[in-house]
C-alpha cells in the first residue's frame, strides 16, 4: 500500500499564537501557570491528552479556540506567561561565558515531563533535571539521547495484583520535539556501522528553556525493520539491541552533533551506556590529524567526564567477547592497535582473556574526570574499580563524587511554590543559584505551611482514589465503593515509591503483620501507606513484591489503609512527593547509589525515614528526619531485614506517630512543623540541582573546556608531547628502581622534630623532572601495618651520585603514635589532569 504522509498542525487564532511556542518548549514543565493555560483551554481535553500541551492544542475544537481568543481574562494570563517566558530566555544567567564550545551530555533516558515519555526511572529523572538546571544557569551544554517509539512500559495490575505491561506508541508529531532539517530542507541524518550494516538515524530536538536536547531515531524508511527497532523501546529487546542502542548513542551521538554544526569540546557520559563516544572522538582526531591512537587518546582524555550510577558489579553493562567481535572487529585496524589492546580498554585486568568487555571500565579509562553520585557511592565506586589502578591506595583512586540533586521548580507542588515565592521574593526565580535564600523558611508561619501541606495531602488522597477506582473498573474487581473511602485526608501518610527491585525491600514493613496492623487500624492515631513503582518486565521477584503488598492488604482487610498505585511516573511522583507526610526508603546499604525521590519529598516538607544509604547517608541529621539504623552493613540478608524492620517499627511507634499527632489547642503539630521547616531549609540548599550543576561546572566542565582550548592549540601539540612522554615512560618504567632509603628517624621522635628522608633512585633514561617522587607518610595502623590517612609530600631532586638520583625532603612530626613512611614515584607532566594513570606507580 502506497501511503502519502503529511503533518497537520492546529490552526490557532492570532491571539493564541504564543501557545504554540510555549507548548513546544519544556520550560512549561517547571512553570505551573504555563500548564494552567492548557488546562483552562479545556480540562476534559487536557486529561484525554494525557497532560500533553501539544496534543491538547490539536484536540481542542476550533470553536473553543475562537471563543478563548476573545476571553480577555485568558489573554491577560497568556500575555503574562509569554512575557515571562521571553524574559527567561533572554535574561542574565549564572554562567556568562562563551557558548562556542559546548559540553555534550549523553544519557540513555531523559525524564523531562509526562508529555515526553522517554524515561524509566531515577537515571532519566536526574538527566531531565540536569537539562532543566543547565538552562536555568545558562551553561554551554547540550543533551544527547535516543527517541524511543514506545518509551518505557505502562504498568497495570491484574485482579491478582500481578504486574502486566503494555507498550503504547509515542506520536512525535503531537509531542514537544521537532525534527531537524539541513539547509536543503531535508531531515538531517547520520549513519553508524552495525556489524557491517549501515543504520541511518534522523535527529529530533526538544527545547528545554534555553538549552537543547537532541534525540536520535532509527524508525525511518531507509532502515530494515530490525534496525528501525533499535529505538523501539527503552531497555527493551535483547543484549544485541542494547549493543546497537549504545553504539547509536555514543558513536552516533557525536556524529549527530557534527551534523548539527555543534562542537562537543567536552563530553559527559552519564553512566557507561555512552562510553563508545570515547572511541569515536579518538577516531575523528586520528583521521583529521594523522595521529596515532595514543596521541588522539591524550587529546580527548582531559575533556571526557564520566558519572557512574551503579554500586553493584552486576549492574554495570558488560558484553561478551563474541558480541564485541561482531560489532567492533574492524575498529582495531581503524585505531591502529591490536585486538587484544582494544579489548583491554574494557577490561579491569587488561591481559585477562576470560574477562568480558565492560562499558564502565571503558568510560573510566577514557575519561580524566570520574565521579559517583553521593559521598558514600564515591567510596563504594573507588573500592569496586580499584583493580584498574593497581598499587594505588584506595582513597586516591581517581573517582570523586558529586551528590545528585533535584530541580526544585519541577518537583515542589504549585501550592507550596506559591508560598515560597511569596516569602522568598523574586530572587528565588531570578537567581536560582543563590541557595542561601532557603534560610527564609523561618519567615513562613507554622499555620500557612501546615495548611498548604494539608491541601496537598487532600489532593493526594483524591488522586489515589481516582486511580484505584479506574483500576477496579478495569479489572472488574467489584470493589468500586472501596475506592471511595480509600485513605483519609487527615491520617499520617507514609509513601514508598521507587523501582521495585528486591534490594530496595518494598516489603520490609510487612515483616511483622501484627505490629503493622496495629498501626493502620488505630482509630485515634491512624497510619496509612501508599506504595507505587514498576518492576522491570523480566524481574519476577520484583513483581512478586508488588503482588505481596496487594495480597497483604486484601488478606487482612486493610485495602482502605494500604494501597498500591499503578503506573508510577512523573505525574504520580509529584502527587506522592508533595502529599505524603513521611517518605520511606529501605534499600540494603550500600546498594542505593544516590536516590533522588526523597530530596523531592524533602523540598515539599515531607520528612524522610530512610536507611543511611545514598544521599541520606550524608544529608541526615535528627533535625530533618529519621535514620533506620546507624549505617551498619550485614552479611546475612535475613538478619538485616529482621533488625531493620524492627528498627523501623520502633521509630514509627515511639517517635514518628506521637510527634505527628501531638497537637496544640490550635490543632497544629508544632514540633512536626519545626522539622518540616528545617528539612526544607537544609535539603533545599544542599540537594538542589543548582548546587549539583555548580559542582559539576567548577570541578569538571570548566576545567574540561579549558583543557580543550589548551590541547587543541597548535595542532594538538601538547597531546603529542604527552603521548611521547608516556611512550617513553612505558619503555622505561619497569627499570625504575628506588635503590635505597635513608632517614634520621629514631625509635622515638617528639612532636615538632624534623624528619629528613633521602631516596636514591635509578631513573634509567628518565629525567628527574619527568617523575614526581613523593614521601608517603602518616599513622600506621596496628592491625594491617598500612599507612592510614596518609599525607603526600613531594621530594626535591638534590644531585646525581653516580647512576643514582638523590631526592630529599624534610617534614615536621605533628601526629603522635605509631608513624611510618615510604617513597613512591608517579608520572609528572604539565599537561596531566592528575598523575594517577593505570600501571604507573612505583613504591619503595
**pLDDT recorded at residue 237:** 84
**pLDDT recorded at residue 585:** 97
Contact status, residue 768 vs residue 797, Cβ threshold 8 Å: yes
Contact status, residue 103 vs residue 140, Cβ threshold 8 Å: yes
**pLDDT recorded at residue 784:** 64
**pLDDT recorded at residue 6:** 52
Contact status, residue 764 vs residue 735, Cβ threshold 8 Å: yes
**Predicted confidence (pLDDT) per residue in 303-345, tens digit:** 999 999 998 887 899 999 999 999 999 999 999 999 999 999 9
User: Residue 110 — pLDDT band, cuts 50, 70, 90?
Assistant: very high
| Rounded CA separation 457/606 (Å) | 10
pLDDT of 547 strictly over 70: yes
**Predicted confidence (pLDDT) per residue in 363-377, tens digit:** 999 999 999 999 999
**Predicted confidence (pLDDT) per residue in 202-252, tens digit:** 999 999 999 999 999 999 999 999 999 999 999 888 999 999 999 999 999
pLDDT of 3 strictly over 70: no
User: Residue 479 — pLDDT band, cuts 50, 70, 90?
Assistant: low
Cell of 359: 562499558
Instruction: Return phi, psi of residue 157, to 5°.
Output: -105, 135
**Predicted confidence (pLDDT) per residue in 595-631, tens digit:** 999 999 999 999 999 999 999 999 999 999 999 999 9
CA distances from 137 to 106, 127, 132, 574 (A): 19, 15, 9, 24
Question: If DSSP codes are grouped into helix, strand and coil, which group holds residue 350?
Answer: coil
Cα–chain-centroid distance for residue 276?
19
| Rounded CA separation 566/561 (Å) | 16
**pLDDT recorded at residue 485:** 81
Contact status, residue 198 vs residue 137, Cβ threshold 8 Å: no
Burial-class residue 665 by CB neighbours within 10 Å (0-12, 13-18, 19+). exposed
Neighbouring C-alpha atoms within 13 Å toward the C-beta of 416:
31
3-state helix, strand, coil in the chain (%, to 5): 45, 20, 35
User: Residue 9 — pLDDT band, cuts 50, 70, 90?
Assistant: low
**Predicted confidence (pLDDT) per residue in 550-570, tens digit:** 999 999 999 999 999 999 999
| Rounded CA separation 256/145 (Å) | 10
**Predicted confidence (pLDDT) per residue in 66-96, tens digit:** 999 999 999 999 999 999 999 999 999 999 9
Cα–chain-centroid distance for residue 215?
18
**pLDDT recorded at residue 577:** 98
| Rounded CA separation 52/50 (Å) | 6
pLDDT of 492 strictly over 90: yes
**pLDDT recorded at residue 56:** 94
**Predicted confidence (pLDDT) per residue in 681-706, tens digit:** 999 999 999 999 999 999 999 999 99
Rg of the chain over all Cα atoms, to the nearest angstrom: 29
Q: How many CB atoms lie within 10 A of CB 472?
A: 18
| Rounded CA separation 322/349 (Å) | 18
**Predicted confidence (pLDDT) per residue in 504-541, tens digit:** 999 999 999 999 999 999 999 999 999 999 999 989 99
pLDDT of 42 strictly over 70: yes
Quote the mean pLDDT of the chain. Answer: 95
Contact status, residue 834 vs residue 396, Cβ threshold 8 Å: no
pLDDT of 23 strictly over 80: yes
Give the strand order in the sheet containing 842-843.
787-794, 771-780, 819-827, 842-843
Q: What is the mean pLDDT of residues 812-828?
A: 93
Contact status, residue 391 vs residue 632, Cβ threshold 8 Å: no
Cα–chain-centroid distance for residue 77?
35
| Rounded CA separation 88/658 (Å) | 45
Q: What is the mean pLDDT of residues 21-41?
A: 96
Residue 786: partners with Cβ closer than 8 Å, 6 or more residues away: 780
**pLDDT recorded at residue 715:** 93
**Predicted confidence (pLDDT) per residue in 43-68, tens digit:** 999 999 988 999 999 999 999 999 99
pLDDT of 831 strictly over 60: yes
**pLDDT recorded at residue 136:** 98
pLDDT of 753 strictly over 80: yes
pLDDT of 785 strictly over 80: no
Q: What is the mean pLDDT of residues 115-130?
A: 94
**pLDDT recorded at residue 386:** 97
| Rounded CA separation 687/177 (Å) | 30
Nearest C-alpha neighbor of 94 from the set 130, 134, 138 = 138
Residue 516: partners with Cβ closer than 8 Å, 6 or more residues away: 509, 510, 649
CA dihedral 25, 29, 34, 35 (to 10 degrees): 120
Q: What is the mean pLDDT of residues 708-722?
A: 96
User: Residue 7 — pLDDT band, cuts 50, 70, 90?
Assistant: low
User: Residue 788 — pLDDT band, cuts 50, 70, 90?
Assistant: confident
**pLDDT recorded at residue 314:** 79
Residue 303: partners with Cβ closer than 8 Å, 6 or more residues away: 265, 266, 267, 368, 704, 705, 707, 708, 711
Residue 278: partners with Cβ closer than 8 Å, 6 or more residues away: 250, 267, 269, 300, 304, 362, 363, 366, 367
Share of the chain above pLDDT 70, in %: 98
Amino acid at each position: 500500500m502506497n501511503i502519502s504522509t503529511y503533518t497537520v498542525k492546529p490552526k490557532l487564532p492570532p491571539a493564541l499564537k504564543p501557545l504554540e511556542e510555549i507548548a513546544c518548549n519544556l520550560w512549561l514543565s517547571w512553570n505551573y501557570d504555563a500548564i494552567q493555560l492548557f488546562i483552562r483551554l479545556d480540562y476534559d481535553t487536557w486529561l484525554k491528552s494525557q497532560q500533553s500541551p501539544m496534543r491538547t492544542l490539536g484536540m481542542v475544537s476550533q470553536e473553543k479556540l475562537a471563543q478563548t481568543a476573545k476571553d480577555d481574562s485568558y489573554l491577560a494570563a497568556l500575555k503574562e506567561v509569554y512575557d515571562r517566558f521571553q524574559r527567561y530566555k533572554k535574561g542574565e544567567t549564572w554562567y556568562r561565558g562563551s557558548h562556542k564550545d559546548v559540553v555534550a551530555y549523553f544519557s540513555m533516558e531523559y525524564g523531562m515531563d509526562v508529555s515526553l515519555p522517554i524515561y524509566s526511572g531515577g537515571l532519566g529523572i536526574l538527566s531531565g533535571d540536569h537539562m532543566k538546571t543547565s538552562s536555568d544557569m545558562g551553561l554551554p551544554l547540550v543533551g544527547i539521547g535516543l527517541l524511543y517509539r514506545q518509551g518505557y512500559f505502562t504498568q497495570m495490575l491484574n485482579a491478582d495484583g500481578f504486574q502486566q505491561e503494555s507498550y503504547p506508541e509515542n506520536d512525535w508529531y503531537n509531542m514537544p520535539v521537532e525534527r531537524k532539517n539541513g539547509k536543503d530542507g531535508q531531515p538531517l541524518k547520520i549513519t553508524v556501522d552495525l556489524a557491517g550494516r549501515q543504520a541511518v538515524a534522523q535527529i529530533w530536538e526538544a527545547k528545554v528553556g534555553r538549552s537543547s536536547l537532541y534525540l536520535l531515531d532509527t524508525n525511518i524508511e531507509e532502515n530494515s525493520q530490525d534496525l528501525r527497532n533499535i529505538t523501539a523501546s527503552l531497555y527493551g529487546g535483547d543484549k544485541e539491541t542494547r549493543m546497537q542502542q549504545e553504539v547509536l548513542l555514543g558513536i552516533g551521538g557525536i556524529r549527530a552533533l557534527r551534523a548539527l554544526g555543534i562542537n562537543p569540546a567536552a563530553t559527559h557520559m552519564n553512566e557507561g551506556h555512552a562510553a563508545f563516544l570515547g572511541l569515536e572522538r579518538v577516531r575523528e582526531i586520528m583521521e583529521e590529524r594523522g595521529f596515532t591512537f595514543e596521541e588522539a587518546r591524550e587529546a580527548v582524555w582531559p575533556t571526557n567526564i564520566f558519572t557512574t550510577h551503579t554500586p553493584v558489579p552486576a549492574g554495570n553493562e558488560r558484553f561478551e567477547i563474541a558480541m564485541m567481535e561482531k560489532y567492533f572487529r574492524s575498529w582495531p585496524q581503524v585505531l591502529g592497535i591490536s585486538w587484544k589492546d582494544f579489548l583491554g580498554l574494557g577490561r579491569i585486568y587488561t591481559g585477562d582473556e576470560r574477562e568480558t568487555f565492560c562499558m564502565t571500565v571503558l568510560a573510566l579509562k577514557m575519561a580524566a574526570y570520574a565521579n559517583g553520585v553521593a559521598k558514600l557511592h564515591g567510596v563504594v565506586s573507588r573500592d569496586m574499580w580499584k583493580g584498574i589502578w593497581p598499587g594505588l591506595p584506595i582513597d586516591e583512586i581517581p573517582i570523586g563524587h558529586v551528590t545528585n540533586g533535584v530541580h526544585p521548580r519541577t518537583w515542589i507542588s504549585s501550592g507550596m511554590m506559591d508560598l515560597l515565592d511569596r516569602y522568598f521574593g523574586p530572587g528565588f526565580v531570578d537567581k536560582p543559584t543563590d541557595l542561601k535564600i532557603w534560610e527564609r523558611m523561618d519567615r513562613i508561619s507554622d499555620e500557612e505551611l501546615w495548611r498548604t501541606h494539608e491541601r496537598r495531602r487532600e489532593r493526594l488522597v483524591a488522586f489515589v482514589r481516582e486511580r484505584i477506582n479506574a483500576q477496579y473498573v478495569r479489572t472488574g474487581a467489584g470493589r468500586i465503593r472501596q475506592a471511595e473511602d480509600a485513605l483519609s485526608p487527615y491520617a499520617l501518610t507514609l509513601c514508598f515509591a521507587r523501582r521495585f527491585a528486591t534490594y530496595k525491600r518494598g516489603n520490609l514493613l510487612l515483616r511483622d503483620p501484627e505490629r503493622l496492623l496495629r498501626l493502620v487500624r488505630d482509630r485515634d492515631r491512624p497510619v496509612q501507606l501508599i506504595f507505587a513503582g514498576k518492576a522491570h518486565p523480566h524481574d519476577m521477584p520484583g513483581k512478586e513484591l508488588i503482588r505481596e503488598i496487594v495480597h497483604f492488604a486484601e488478606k487482612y482487610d486493610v485495602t482502605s489503609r494500604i494501597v498500591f498505585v499503578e503506573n508510577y511516573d512523573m505525574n504520580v511522583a509529584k502527587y506522592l512527593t508533595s502529599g505524603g507526610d513521611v517518605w520511606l526508603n529501605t534499600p540494603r546499604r550500600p546498594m542505593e547509589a544516590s536516590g533522588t525521590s526523597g530530596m523531592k519529598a524533602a523540598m515539599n516538607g515531607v520528612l524522610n525515614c530512610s536507611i543511611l544509604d545514598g544521599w541520606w547517608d550524608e544529608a541526615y541529621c535528627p533535625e530533618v528526619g529519621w535514620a533506620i539504623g546507624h549505617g551498619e552493613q550485614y552479611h546475612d540478608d535475613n538478619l538485616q531485614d529482621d533488625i531493620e524492620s524492627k528498627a523501623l517499627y520502633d521509630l514509627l511507634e515511639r517517635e514518628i506517630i506521637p510527634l505527628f499527632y501531638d497537637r496544640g489547642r490550635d490543632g497544629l503539630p508544632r514540633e512536626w512543623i519545626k522539622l518540616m521547616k528545617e528539612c526544607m531549609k537544609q535539603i533545599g540548599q544542599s540537594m538542589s540541582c543548582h548546587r549539583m550543576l555548580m559542582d559539576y561546572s567548577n570541578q569538571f566542565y570548566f576545567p574540561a573546556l579549558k583543557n580543550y582550548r589548551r590541547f587543541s592549540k597548535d595542532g594538538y601539540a601538547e597531546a603529542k608531547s604527552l603521548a611521547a612522554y608516556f611512550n617513553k615512560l612505558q619503555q622505561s618504567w619497569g627499570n625504575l628502581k628506588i635503590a635505597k632509603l635513608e632517614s634520621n628517624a629514631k625509635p622515638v621522635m617528639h612532636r615538632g622534630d624534623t624528619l629528613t628522608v633521602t631516596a636514591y633512585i635509578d631513573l634509567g633514561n628518565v629525567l628527574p623532572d619527568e617523575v614526581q617522587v613523593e614521601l608517603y607518610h602518616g599513622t600506621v595502623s596496628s592491625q594491617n601495618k598500612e599507612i592510614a590517612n596518609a599525607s603526600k609530600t613531594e621530594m626535591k631532586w638534590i644531585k646525581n651520585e653516580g647512576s643514582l638520583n638523590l631526592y630529599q625532603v624534610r617534614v615536621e612530626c605533628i601526629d603522635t603514635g605509631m608513624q611510618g613512611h615510604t617513597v613512591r614515584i608517579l608520572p609528572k607532566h604539565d599537561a596531566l589532569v592528575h598523575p594517577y594513570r593505570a600501571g604507573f606507580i612505583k613504591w619503595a
